[in-house]
Amino acid sequence: MKKFVSAIIAVAALALCFALSACATKYASHYSSSTMVTTEHSDKASISFGSFKGTYVMKLQNKGADEVYITYEATLGEGNVKVYYDYNDEKLDLFDITTNGSVDSKTETFTGNKTIYVIIESDGKCKDGSFSFTLKK
């Protein structure tokens, strides 16, 4: 009986550890894709895909107190995508892109040593997309 109780406690402890570690990430990626290529560095991130459906999250890190902004470029062959960013715990619209669309712009200025999340969400299946984001001073 003691072994059984010990096993139950061990399983419960492992489940708790996994549950708590899952809460550490503010946003989670969940998607299906084909021919997807991603790159992520502290100051730039990009994603290109043949097809994509779901949500993909990227993190950019402003290391230091300098003012920065994000330049971004995106193209989409087919579908609808909404792109958001989170800075200071607020998810804000960045841009929408639809079939045969392209976007090339920049954000407002950010200050402080903060993580900036970029969230790409498709509205159904999308094809032939390319998105890039770069922190600039």
Q: Is the dihedral of CA 20, 21, 24, 27 positive or negative?
A: negative
pLDDT on residue 21:
45
What confidence score (pLDDT) does residue 23 get? 46
Query: What pLDDT does 13 receive?
Result: 56
pTM score, whole prediction: 0.78
Which backbone phi and psi does 16 adopt, to 5 degrees? -65, -40
Question: Given this model, what pLDDT does residue 87 score?
Answer: 80
Low-confidence ranges of the chain (pLDDT < 70): 1-25, 113
Q: Which CATH architecture has domain 27-136?
A: Sandwich (2.60)
pLDDT of residue 101: 96
Residues 6+ apart with CB under 8 A from 43: 60, 61, 134, 135
Boundaries of every domain in the chain: 27-136
| Distant-in-sequence, close-in-space partners of 52: CB < 8 Å, separation ≥ 6 | 31, 32, 33, 36, 79, 122, 125, 126, 127, 129
Given this model, what pLDDT does residue 19 score?
47
The answer to whether 80 and 96 are in contact (CB under 8 A) is yes
Please name the residue that has the structure tokens 């003012």: 67
